[in-house]
Amino acid sequence: MFKESKLRSIIKSLSWRLLATLTTILIVYIFVGDTKVAFSIGGIEVFLKMLVYFFHERLWEKIRFGRREIKPLVIWITGLSRSGKSGIGRTLTEKLQHQGYKAEHLDGHSIRDLFPETGYRREDVNRHIKRIGFLARKLEEQGVVVVATFLSPYKESREFVREVTARYFEVYISTPATVCAARDQKGIYTRAASGDLANFPGVSSKYEVPQKPDLVIDTSEIEQKDAAEMIFSRIRKKL
Amino acid sequence: MFKESKLRSIIKSLSWRLLATLTTILIVYIFVGDTKVAFSIGGIEVFLKMLVYFFHERLWEKIRFGRREIKPLVIWITGLSRSGKSGIGRTLTEKLQHQGYKAEHLDGHSIRDLFPETGYRREDVNRHIKRIGFLARKLEEQGVVVVATFLSPYKESREFVREVTARYFEVYISTPATVCAARDQKGIYTRAASGDLANFPGVSSKYEVPQKPDLVIDTSEIEQKDAAEMIFSRIRKKL
């Protein structure tokens, strides 16, 4: 957040008026060839233009044309592990920021790194996601577009986020578990399949498929970059 | 967040230039009495002024004077139940917003209302406060001044918030438990004293007094409104 001081604005206004009026004086002098006339016109212009500018500003203050409030929204990206959520979210956030929007990427992994005590049982996950929803709402209230990428396998907490935020846009990354498992280099899918990891959505626990997502993307067919582009073009009108 | 469309800016610029140049033409005509000269000067002014304005803008773009970045901060208000934290926080937040800052009040009570499952054991409280700290940091990163009013009795989680935020300003409301108990109309202090409420800081569990607060306020002596004013005058220079 930047602020310009009143003094800067005042000095800048004076410097513009000086420069603008000197320009007028110069033009008049070139045409009329009379220094006295040129400076008299300049002298009157200084005051008259300030007055005219003031009324011009007040008039435009009343004209609504072209002025719109940016209503941010919460873009909630849900899907299995290794489905490409984080990458899509990162690209989308950068795109939004590049377009001049305030945007924040909340990512499941980085937040869990900060709160290692967060559990993986159903109630732990639901509680975690609900709190993220609250964080998203607070950011949304401050005019920030939130891009949230969380596995978020349970309907209960996703619905809580939908309720608690003003504008919720749900993106379901529908990439099948087999495709995600093939991409997995850390061996989490193998560990889950062997029974080593309990509560692993899509393998050892259920991923509750969203019933009414605003957008469905399968990253077995679509590149992450294009997926981010798809989401952006869908939400653009909403902003 | 408001945005003005490019088209609005273009039309407004044209309307100003038209109005300004008509003013120039009028002044010149009154002085010189020659329509042709007046309109010639106006015609040249239209283009020359736009050029001069452009270079004037570029010049000021390079001048740093009077331009400063608002660095928000997290004002963390800790103290016993009924010590007046929430009231002070509300007044302070309104004051900040009134002064043109983006400010958000995070209050222990309203957040617990939303998350009724939050426990009162030491580890529950620490986990809760740490998550609030993360929320505060995200808001701070987006340029929002955060006013957080939480009992937050434990050093561990307060220090986590200090670490995780960029600029942390700790206010310790030092009002003694006896004074707070006398204000308590809901009978929580009585219930805690009778052993009915475990983990009630200041009575049935310890409130760990801040070791290096930035400001200490005792509301047995100072009104809530004045306390908010004190905090504001201390942080004003930091913003």
pLDDT in tens, chain A (239 residues): 566 788 888 888 888 888 999 999 999 999 889 999 999 999 998 889 888 888 888 888 888 888 777 889 999 999 999 999 999 999 999 999 998 899 999 999 989 888 887 889 999 999 999 999 999 999 999 999 999 999 999 999 999 999 999 999 999 999 999 999 999 998 999 999 998 888 999 999 999 999 999 999 999 999 999 999 999 999 998 88
Cβ contact, residue pair A68, B31, below 8 Å: no
Cβ contact, residue pair A66, B7, below 8 Å: yes
In 3-state terms, what secondary structure has residue A162?
A: helix
The shortest CB-CB distance from B102 to any of A44, A115, A142 is to: A142
Question: What value does the mean pLDDT of chain A take?
Answer: 92
Beta bridge partners of B35: none
Work out the widest C-alpha separation in chain B, in whole angstroms: 97
- Annotated active-site residue A152? The verdict is yes
Q: What domains are there in chain A, each with its CATH number?
A: 6-62 (no CATH), 74-238 (3.40.50.300)
Question: Within 10 Å of residue A31's Cβ, how many Cβ atoms?
Answer: 19
Total beta-carbon pairs less than 8 A apart between chain A and chain B: 147
**β-pairing verdict for A2-4 and B67-69:** antiparallel
CA distance A24 to A41: 8
Find the residue in A nearest to B69 (Cα): A2
Instruction: Let me know how long chain A is.
Output: 239
B136 touches B145 (CB < 8 A): no
B6, B8, B61: best to mutate for the A interface, most A CBs within 10 A: B8
- Considering the candidates B152, B157, B174, B205, report the single residue annotated as catalytic: B152
Q: What stretches of A33-71 show up as alpha helix (H) in DSSP? A: 35-62
Q: Which two tokens stand for residue A180?
A: 């995600």
Nearest to B44 by CA among B63, B57, B25, B59: B25
In 3-state terms, what secondary structure has residue B222?
A: coil
| Angle of helix A155-164 versus helix A122-141 axis, rounded to 10 | 20
Distances (CA, A) of B45 to A14, B39, B40, B159: 19, 10, 9, 63
The shortest CB-CB distance from B32 to any of A16, A37, A134 is to: A37
CA distance B134 to A206: 29
Q: What stretches of chain A show up as alpha helix (H) in DSSP? A: 6-32, 35-62, 85-98, 108-114, 122-141, 155-164, 177-183, 188-193, 224-235
Work out the widest C-alpha separation in chain A, in whole angstroms: 96
Instruction: Say which residues have a Cβ less than 8 Å from residue B236's Cβ, sequence separation at least 6.
Output: none
Amino acid A60 reads W
Element holding B77 (H helix, E strand): strand B74-79
pLDDT at A11: 87
Buried b (16+ CB within 10 A) or exposed e, A215-235: bebbbeebebeebbbbbbeeb
Instruction: Say which residues have a Cβ less than 8 Å from residue B212's Cβ, sequence separation at least 6.
Output: B170
Question: What distance in Å separates residue B223's CA from the closest CA in chain A?
Answer: 29
pLDDT at A237: 87
Beta bridge partners of B107: B149
Q: Which two tokens stand for residue A10?
A: 């005042």
CA distance B37 to B27: 11
Burial of A87 (0-12, 13-18, 19+ CB in 10 A): middle
Q: Give Cα A207 distance to the centre of its chain.
A: 27
CA distance B105 to B90: 7
Cβ contact, residue pair B138, A142, below 8 Å: no
B125 touches B206 (CB < 8 A): no
pTM higher than 0.90 for the full model? no
A220 touches A175 (CB < 8 A): yes
| Span A49-82, pLDDT tens digits | 888 888 888 888 888 888 777 889 999 999 999 9
Residues of B in contact with A4 (CB under 8 A): 66-67
